[in-house]
Amino acid sequence: MIAHAIFFYIFSVIAVISAIMVTVSKNTVHSVFFLILDFISISCLFIMIGAEFLGMIMLIVYVGAVAVLFLFVVMMLNVAQQKNQWFISKESSGHIPVGLVISVIIFFELIIVIGGWKYKPDLLNSTNLFIEKGVSNTHSLGQVLYTDYIHVFQISGMILLIAMIGAIVLTFRQREGVKKQSYLKQISRERAEGVEVLEVASNRGVKIDD
Amino acid sequence: MEYLSIVFQETYKILFLLIPVLVSVAMIVWLDRRVWAFVQKRRGPNVVGPFGLLQSLADALKYIFKEIIIPASSNKVIFILAPIITMTLALTAWAVIPFSESKVLANINVGILYIFAVSSLGVYGIIMGGWASNSKYPFLGAIRSAAQMVSYEVSIGIIIINVLLCVGSLNLNDIVIAQENMWFIFPLFPMFVIFFISALAETNRPPFDLPEAEAELVAGYQTEYSGMMYAMFWLGEYANILLMCALGSILFLGGWLSPIDFYPFNLIPGFIWLIFKIMFLFMLFALVKAIVPRYRYDQLMRLGWKIFLPLSLTYVVLTASFLFYFNLLPTT
């Protein structure tokens, strides 16, 4: 049990320190790497309480996909330069009140969540959420998710689909004058139409591409 | 005291797993170069040791004695971390590979998810190396590689779902045991083909070696690396290739199960069969490298998102409905 406690404290200390470093570190790419470290140590904590499926999914989804996109954006946009301009120029400082409002809302939500912990023992003893001892974590998750909560599960899937389609619609634009390669055309090219023998008049040339 | 003895036992087991893996990585590099040479009617490495078998060791010695050059404008910590992360992740994934029913380092319930998670972390070694080099070619290579690995992971994940539907467990040993009557390559043959191609893309092997396309990007994300750090990238890459071969043989070729199950042959221990299957898949990898020309980047993305993803999703629906209709769904 002592080993268990030691590992718990190691992972949670790493998680807290890296969470602080995300906001403190000056280089934005470094803060994304700290975010990744945070995700990894949190998934280690999940695995330690026996929620192995959640821990692995956390690694696959957040670290393997979401954080890669974060890293992409941060590397491509060169946010470090923009941040300096952001404080100097007057016209973009309108973002600050919006950010403040959002962070205040998140702060109060966190306080409410901490208050909600008081009901945790009731939740564990609830007859609706019956935890079978012999069944593995993944199996019991599936048994609950696909029976009792199937509608919620499907609705959340629908919301994600709508968000995805929305993102595509917002960013997709048909540009004109862009030459596209058609695979069908490329594959179905024959020698007869590919090569053409032309009589070229001297000093006049020939027009090939239109 | 008891805790210490557990630690010693586990360390012993880990060494017993890692040293063979590292040696076979060295051997497999030799095999790769040799096959490549034979396809092109060359001799390949044949000077150091019998048949050139010790060529990789000679190369490793050369790398160890070379100076490690760290570019002045690079981000030093991340630059050094990148190859370490690549190699560590490539080796950690081997912890859950079952070599026989009892010979597993960690027989965890979510083994397949663990392998998937660790191999999806492998992107970071490449991105970090490319970004920290602070140079154009490594950065372009890293960006390409990250996009490529993220998109092919999606189709690999869905192919794994196909297999899991037939097994009903995420444990790798259960997946092998479920294939006792029939290897999954027979009912899921199209998925095996897609898995093989996605594995090529996932490990940045030709024809999908765009991250290190030497004609365009010098050597991609490895351009600025030298000496032992380069060798670590290279070891990690080949360990990942071996891992993908092992995963392919566990998911589709019956893992450590013996294909010929009668008297003289069933004395052969399971791990020999697993090694044979891994070698078979690796020979395919090596042949593909020698035979196929490199893909263009837009073709690669199109193949991943527009062909493999819909195909494997359709096959998930087909497998699920087949199993449901004939009442073959695995029960727990």
- C-alpha distances out from residue B246 to A24, A50, B199, Å: 42, 27, 11
Whether residues A59 and B117 touch (CB distance < 8 A) is answered with yes
Instruction: Give the nearest partner residue to A75 out of B113, B131, B298, using CB atoms.
Output: B131
Q: List pLDDT tens digits, range A159-203.
A: 999 999 999 999 888 777 787 777 788 888 888 877 777 788 888
For chain A, count helices (H), then strands (E).
11, 0
Find the mean pLDDT for residues B177-197.
88
Of B93, B112, B95, the residue nearest B13 (C-alpha): B95
Q: How far is B134 from chain A (nearest CA, A)?
A: 11
User: Rounded to an integer, what distance in angstroms lies between the CA atom of residue B86 and that of residue B25?
Assistant: 14
Domain boundaries, chain A: 135-169
Per-residue pLDDT at A102: 92
- What local confidence, expressed as pLDDT, does residue B215 receive? 67
| Contact between A56 and B123 using a beta-carbon 8 Å cutoff | no
Half-sphere exposure of B302 (CA within 13 A, CB side): 8
**Using one digit for the tens of pLDDT, what is the confidence trace for A14-60?**
999 999 988 888 788 888 889 999 999 999 898 888 788 888 888 88
Is B198 in contact with B303 (CB distance < 8 Å)?
no
* CB contact burial A175-210 (16+ within 10 A = b; e otherwise): eeeeeeeeeeeeeeeeeeeeeeeeeeeeeeeeeeee
Q: Which residues of B touch A59 (CB under 8 A)?
A: 117, 120-121
pLDDT tens per residue across span A108-141: 888 888 777 666 666 666 666 666 667 777 888 8
- The minimum CA-CA distance between B137 and chain A, rounded to whole Å, is 14
The tens digit of pLDDT for each residue in B29-85 reads 898 888 889 898 888 888 887 888 888 888 888 988 988 888 888 888 888 889 999
Least confident range from A128-132, B172-176, B289-293, B322-326: namely A128-132
pLDDT at B1 over 80: no
**Chain A closest-CA separation from residue B6 CA (Å):** 12
Work out whether the CA dihedral B302, B311, B204, B161 comes out positive or negative.
positive
User: CB-based contact (8 Å) between B4 and chain A?
Assistant: no
Considering chain B, what percentage of its residues have pLDDT values greater than 70? 99
The owner of tokens 């000679």 is B58
Question: How large is the ipTM?
Answer: 0.81
Q: Which amino acid is at A102?
A: I
What pLDDT, on a 0 to 100 scale, did the predictor assign at position B43?
85
Closest CB to B153 among A33, A64, A71: A64
Q: What are phi and psi of A78, to 5 degrees?
A: 55, 60
HEC string of chain B equals CHHHHHHHHHHHHHHHHHHHHHHHHHHHHHHHHHHHHHHCCCCCCCCCCHHHCCHHHHHHHHHHHCCCCCCCCCCHHHHHHHHHHHHHHHHHHHHHCCCCCCCCCCCCCCHHHHHHHHHHHHHHHHHHHHHHCCCHHHHHHHHHHHHHHHHHHHHHHHHHHHHHHHHCCCCHHHHHHCCCCCCCCCCCHHHHHHHHHHHHHHCCCCCCCHHHCHHHHCCHHHCCCCHHHHHHHHHHHHHHHHHHHHHHHHHCCCCCCCCCCCHHHHHCCHHHHHHHHHHHHHHHHHHHHHHCCCCCHHHHHHHHHHHHHHHHHHHHHHHHHHHHHCCCCCCC
Considering chain B, what is the average pLDDT of its residues? 86
